[in-house]
Amino acid sequence: MALKSTIYKASISITDMDRNYYQSHTLTLARHPSETDERMMIRLLAYVINASDTLAFSKGLSSNDEPDLWQKDLTGKIELWIETGQPDEKSIRKACGLAQKVAIYTYSGHSATLWYEQIKTALSGINKLTVVNIPQHTSHELAKLADRNMQLQCTIQDGYIWLSNDLVSVEIKPQICKPLNNE
């Protein structure tokens, strides 16, 4: 018998002064049986960094043809494709062919650094791709926020992110490995 995903609920109040985005979102996250709290919280972090009314979680780990998150326009065209972890070059190129912009959020410390060093030359000419690394100590701290019913506050200012609940607050300084070429 296959294991089922665990459902997590998150109510998040986002104050993003860098983008002038001020909204509250109620989200449902399905945590795949093979997924850790750390990876799930990186997906949630990617959501708050890119939050919009049309950004949504996809089937993720349950589907090879979908990202972790995506944003589509009214016609169904993919505007933003978001992956977490260390996808292979072929998957990244495929995503770039399907979406207007692609963002990858890495988080596993030294292995993420090695992954990026191995593929950065091959990806350097892709204008619509950005790669962001979340430092390992930060991703471990984010995992402590994981709860089946989360009430979170997020503030983003000057490239820093503060994500907190009533007990824990995590300061995050994402490291931009590869910015969009038009930035």
1 belongs to a structural domain: no
183 belongs to a structural domain: no
Distance CA 145, CA 75 (A): 36
130 belongs to a structural domain: yes
Domain extent for 149: 6-178
pLDDT in tens, 28-58: 999 988 899 999 999 999 999 999 999 999 8
Q: What is the dihedral of CA 143, 15, 56, 60, to 10 degrees?
A: -20
117 belongs to a structural domain: yes
Other beta carbons within 10 Å of 59: 14
103 belongs to a structural domain: yes
Distance CA 49, CA 52 (A): 9
CATH of the domain at 16: 3.10.640.10
127 belongs to a structural domain: yes
How many domains is the chain built from? 1
Specify the pTM. Answer: 0.93
Whether residue 183 is predicted with pLDDT greater than 90 in this model: the reply is no
pLDDT in tens, 71-96: 999 999 999 999 999 999 999 999 99
Best CA proximity match to 155, nearest among 19, 2, 55: 19
Whether residue 165 is predicted with pLDDT greater than 80 in this model: the reply is yes
54 belongs to a structural domain: yes
pLDDT in tens, 10-35: 999 999 999 999 999 999 999 988 89
